[in-house]
Amino acid sequence: MKTILCAVLAVATLLPAQSTKTPDLTGVWAPFSGGRGGGGDPKIAPPPAGQLVLKPEYAKPYEARRAAEAEATKRGEQLATAGAQCIPYGVPTMMAVASYPVEFIQNANQVTIISEAFSEVRRVYLDQPQAALDDVAPGYYGRSAGKWDGDTLVVDTIGIKPTVNGYRGMPHSEKMHITERIKLITPDVLHDQITIEDPVVLEKPMVYTLAYRRMPDYEMVEFVCDNNREYVDEKGVVRMKIKDK
Amino acid sequence: MKSRLLNVLALVTLLAIPVLAHHSFTMFDTTKQITITGTVTSFEWTNPHSYIEIDVPDEGGAVKHWSIEMGSPSILQQSGWKFSSLKKGDKTTLVINPLKTGLAGGFLNTATLPTGKVLGNGPGRGPAK
């Protein structure tokens, strides 16, 4: 009886510690989409992206740009993009650039996220209050404050400058506010649910989820954009420089 | 109603945009493959792309220089490439998608190394390692 009582007490003591244990996101993660790399498993595939609903005054130029891009593609050309000029993607786009991995490095005070493409780095300060928007110089990564909500890392980001393209080229204002809920779905699958709010540009929040697979033992490859042969011609079209010898 | 239509259009177009690291493949004619054989003048293991610079002699002996774009080192290493896979002076045969402009440039599909090993251009683009 005494033994059973001891065992029950031991389990009771352990349970709270296990349930409040902070997940460790440290490691290298490769993005995958539900259909391609996800193997079609609905348990680990990210849910479909929500609807992008721009205010009419922003929807019109956005569509005009998309139409121009489609026309250029038909002609066999690509219109200039930031990426083609080796300009970093910033938050949130850097979280999934083609199949390039991202590395999470976590400690008690900070989560650092490094994207292999363009070697972009963002820092999430844990358990720190978010700064006032007026105190954050607009940039590519803004300021990110994070906290653990049970097993989910909740990251609040402000201060992304409007010239940094948002989700798939969507426009945004300086008031864009991004909330990420980052969670291990299995020990080797990570989801990042991204909610973009912008009272100036969006009619309603844009929500989409990125999914990643763990890449055990992968060592990140350096990516310094020092040999960009693509240039933009006088018509705004991306061209490739070729050498004559 | 008009704004609603625009919103719907925004959604449809959004789904059609490819997510690429650097630029699209639009400038290359992916419906066409050509094979060139020549001597490497430089192998550039660089970002955002790697390049094979190659002198290609024609049947008459005249030499034409080609610039061949590849994936980035991160992508290439997934199909078996190393920074030392090619060097100046190596003889190699490349299968490429040529530039639509007709200039002497293209995008690599496969390369046959001096060892006889055939390498692609990253996952889904030619032989895996």
- Let me know: does A78 contact B23? Beta carbons within 8 Å: yes
Contact B53 A243 (CB under 8 A): yes
- Let me know: does B129 contact B80? Beta carbons within 8 Å: yes
pTM, two decimals, is: 0.84
- Let me know: does A189 contact A214? Beta carbons within 8 Å: yes
Residues of B in contact with A49 (CB under 8 A): 14
In terms of DSSP bridges, do strands B63-69 and B105-112 run parallel, antiparallel, or are they unpaired? Answer: parallel
Contact B104 A242 (CB under 8 A): yes
Q: Is the peptide bond before A46 cis (omega within 30 degrees of 0)?
A: no
* List of domains in chain A: 22-240 (2.40.128.20)
Q: Is B84 on the interface with A (CB under 8 A)?
A: no
Q: For residues B89-112, give the mean pLDDT.
A: 96
pLDDT at B128: 44
Contact A221 B66 (CB under 8 A): no
DSSP lists the bridge partners of residue B120 as none
> What percent of chain B is modeled with pLDDT above 70?
78
Contact B48 A86 (CB under 8 A): yes
Cβ burial, residue B22 (10 Å; 0-12/13-18/19+): buried
pLDDT at B54: 98
DSSP lists the bridge partners of residue A110 as A125
pLDDT at A2: 54
Residues of A in contact with B23 (CB under 8 A): 78, 81, 83-84, 230, 238
Q: Which of B110, B34, B109, B53 is nearest to A229 (CA)?
A: B53
CA-based nearest distance A235→chain B, Å:
15
pLDDT at A204: 97
Q: Is B49 on the interface with A (CB under 8 A)?
A: yes
Residues of A in contact with B79 (CB under 8 A): none
Q: Is the peptide bond before A61 cis (omega within 30 degrees of 0)?
A: no
Confidence category of residue A98, pLDDT binned at 50, 70, 90: confident
DSSP lists the bridge partners of residue A28 as A103
Confidence category of residue B17, pLDDT binned at 50, 70, 90: very low
* Orientation of helix A56-74 relative to helix B2-16, angle to 10°: 40
pLDDT at A242: 85
Confidence category of residue B11, pLDDT binned at 50, 70, 90: very low
> In 10 A of CB A137, how many CB atoms?
8
pLDDT in tens, A144-203: 999 999 999 999 999 999 999 888 889 999 999 999 999 999 999 999 999 999 999 999
φ/ψ region of A90 (left if φ > 0, alpha if ψ in -120 to 50, else beta) reads: left
Going from N- to C-terminal start, the domains of chain B cover: 23-119
pLDDT at B21: 63
DSSP code of residue B14? H
Q: Is B6 on the interface with A (CB under 8 A)?
A: yes
Compare A15 and A188 and report the one with higher pLDDT. Answer: A188
Q: Which one-letter amino acid corresponds to residue B111? A: A
Local structure of B25: helix, strand or coil: coil
User: How far apart are the C-alpha atoms of A177 and A165, rounded to whole Å?
Assistant: 14
Give the nearest partner residue to B23 out of A51, A203, A238, using CB atoms: A238
pLDDT at A81: 83
> What percent of chain B is modeled with pLDDT above 90?
67
Contact A60 B6 (CB under 8 A): yes
The answer, yes or no, to whether residue A36 has pLDDT greater than 50, is no
Give chain A's mean pLDDT: 89
Q: For residues A132-147, give the mean pLDDT.
A: 98
Question: E strands within B2-117?
Answer: 34-44, 51-57, 63-69, 91-98, 105-112
Element (H, E) at B118: strand B118-119
DSSP code of residue A6? H
Q: What is the ipTM of this complex?
A: 0.80
pLDDT at B5: 39
Confidence category of residue B7, pLDDT binned at 50, 70, 90: very low
Compare A35 and A185 and report the one with higher pLDDT. Answer: A185
Contact A241 B67 (CB under 8 A): yes
The answer, yes or no, to whether residue B112 has pLDDT greater than 90, is yes
Contact B47 A230 (CB under 8 A): no
Q: Is A137 on the interface with B (CB under 8 A)?
A: no
Contact A56 B11 (CB under 8 A): no
pLDDT in tens, B20-70: 566 778 899 999 999 999 999 999 999 999 999 999 999 898 999 999 999
Contact A63 B69 (CB under 8 A): no
CATH number of B23-119: 2.40.50.140
DSSP code of residue B22? S
Residues of B in contact with A227 (CB under 8 A): 44, 46-49, 51
- Test the B interface: residue of A240, A241, A244, A245 with most B CBs within 10 Å: A240
Q: What is the biggest distance separating any 2 CA atoms in chain A, rounded to whole angstroms?
A: 88
Confidence category of residue A16, pLDDT binned at 50, 70, 90: very low
Give chain B's mean pLDDT: 83
Q: Is B56 on the interface with A (CB under 8 A)?
A: no
